[in-house]
Structure 1
């Protein structure tokens, strides 16, 4: 009888703990948030991108490189989706063109996630770094972008035990980068427990051919990452805490926390305006809807802009919001000369006028 009482007490305690964690997760995911539409006056869906534009970056000449076709565990995806990189000319707004991949690379298993471009100051060569999940693995592939041929020449694949759940990346050299891990565990069941119990073991990793090391930790999940125009600071999306962390790069490539800015949403990738230094992010206004992925009650989209992030009073502005009827699950937003390009994890891409 004593054992039964103990088991019953344990069951009650466990149920109470799980219930408390579910309530906490609902709060963290903003499950009760109702979104008010905030549309821009002149937007159109980009033809030719049907299966997501999880990350994108716009080069100085107006060419937007976009990753599409991501298949991510637990999220809706079309079996016909093919992982690829496309280029869209922001100046002309023409339909995107797929970049052909050349070199020793398995394009059939390409599953692109976060991306970053590094321009070599010596000769102007541009290198595209892509977080890739072939066969549910985690690696970074480095390509040379050959614009005149609309091709990507595969140069290198980077794998390392510290790069176990890579989400996003920012290149800081022709073969060096910082990357975020959005989970600590690699098994899907443990990932769910990690989320449920808010285990803060995620980190930022620095990679170069000479060294690989964890340089900042203590996050429940690290998502988008990008660098300031002066190359002194990194910005990291502490997505589950609804904050953007400002990190200063040290001489040994480690990171020190400077400040955190609350954004009121679950912000995904981060793009930085090279002229103003403003941060732009595609965000998930209701993370629970995003995790459930019910297309009959679709997760919405939100674009957040942060101005003067290094000042005493950064300005956080909602630039765009939709309830999912136009755009589902925004993950990135980038401006270019009065235009705005908004990407999604598995849905479409929106091209808007800001003026």
Structure 2
């Protein structure tokens, strides 16, 4: 009896929110995108529950003082940007994990940190954030992406879960400087639960929106009664005018029917989107001259729950962080400060084979290094990993 009542409740509340959500969804989809629930049998997870360890013999976790780093980005020169937080803040307030006790955060506003890691010297630099004059805003880190421009200046597009609503905050970093400058925030009705972002130019980006509800009873029901295939990928373009940096934004949905659209990456003219719950990577082509619309190419089953996905600057392949033991991962996520709960970590490599895109295991450990590893990539013979609940950077020789 509970499940039908849950359906009725979801329908009623989603209908109430229709003006904000359905009105932004292509009319050809109608309400179907909102009430599409997938079967457990459509999930591609659990394949690596008991898989052997792989490439984890020569590893270390270092620079734990940076905090827990949900995402990082490897630059063309091999240096690595990391977005890191303090667990004392995250355990009270982190909307992606449905934690909204902002009033209990010890020091407000929340100022998560950017770090720059140099592998040539195994050293880090904290990049101070210079917020806009007169701004006393939060930076609550999640996914981010770096656009390396022709003049050498780097634009950082960062998901920012501010206490008054999530945005994409755009920062600027000049290599050699010890700070990043906050330029402006990009907001839109479709950016209400953003997870990851990837730039398509200095004033445009794709993003993933992983949940339909941010908090409250409906978020609880969404998590417990799913999986629901109403997560999506959107694209935004924005214009900045005047000295005040007023931002006008146009966003639209480009792909839909994900259970949990999480990581997103671009390689050549392909866009890769991983679905955390379904355990697949969807491959698209995109057309910048056609409003960045996406054309579906292929779905690649990975065999495990997924998180961030990145292009390796060395191999050119995609690397996606995986959770081989789903239930253990969920238990750890619900107990963020219980560091004794160790969860196996894994990464997979997505590559172009003779018959299309394929996937293979790249890394596996028993949780001794980074438990709940949300991010992974390889560069110059090194495997790197980090996590939303664990301090430091994992470095392995492979």
Structure 2 partner of 1:221: 260
Q: Give the CA deviation at 1:12.
A: 10
1:50-96 deviations in Å (ceiling 9; x for gaps): 631111111111110001117335489997896111110122222x2
Cα distance change on mapping 1:136 and 1:304 into 2, 3 Å: farther
Structure 2 partner of 1:112: 141
User: Does the 8 A contact of 1:90 with 1:336 survive in 2?
Assistant: no
Q: Give the CA deviation at 1:335.
A: 1.5
Structure 1 partner of 2:27: none
1:214-246 deviations in Å (ceiling 9; x for gaps): 111111110000100x2x111001111110000
Cα distance in 2, alignment partners of residues 12 and 242 from structure 1: 24
SS at match of 1:99: strand
Structure 1 partner of 2:277: 240
Cα distance in 2, alignment partners of residues 322 and 137 from structure 1: 36
**2:299 is matched with which residue: 256, 260, 266?**
260
Structure 2 partner of 1:350: 394
**1:68 partnered with 2:84:** yes
Q: Give the CA deviation at 1:125.
A: 1.8
Q: Give the CA deviation at 1:35.
A: 5.4
Q: Give the CA deviation at 1:13.
A: 7.8
User: Does the 8 A contact of 2:159 with 2:194 survive in 1?
Assistant: yes
**1:169 is matched with which residue: 179, 197, 204?**
197
**1:300 is matched with which residue: 344, 351, 355?**
344
Cα distance in 2, alignment partners of residues 277 and 216 from structure 1: 24
Structure 2 partner of 1:4: none
User: Does the 8 A contact of 1:237 with 1:268 survive in 2?
Assistant: yes
**2:322 is matched with which residue: 283, 287, 291?**
283
Structure 1 partner of 2:378: 335
Q: How does 1:89-108 map to 2 (within 5 A)?
A: 89-94=118-123, 96-104=124-132
Cα distance change on mapping 1:100 and 1:24 into 2, 3 Å: same
1:144-191 deviations in Å (ceiling 9; x for gaps): 112222211111111111001000000111121000001012224323
Structure 2 partner of 1:33: 49
Q: Give the CA deviation at 1:49.
A: 4.2
Cα distance change on mapping 1:290 and 1:31 into 2, 3 Å: farther
SS at match of 1:208: strand
Q: CA RMSD in A?
A: 3.0
Structure 2 partner of 1:5: none
Show structure 1 runs of 5+ residues with no match: 1-9, 16-20
User: Does the 8 A contact of 1:31 with 1:286 survive in 2?
Assistant: no
How many residues align? The count is: 334
Cα distance in 2, alignment partners of residues 166 and 110 from structure 1: 14
**1:54 partnered with 2:70:** yes
Cα distance in 1, alignment partners of residues 217 and 341 from structure 2: 25
TM-score, normalisation: structure 2: 0.76
Cα distance in 2, alignment partners of residues 113 and 82 from structure 1: 12
Cα distance change on mapping 1:188 and 1:66 into 2, 3 Å: farther
TM-score, normalisation: structure 1: 0.84
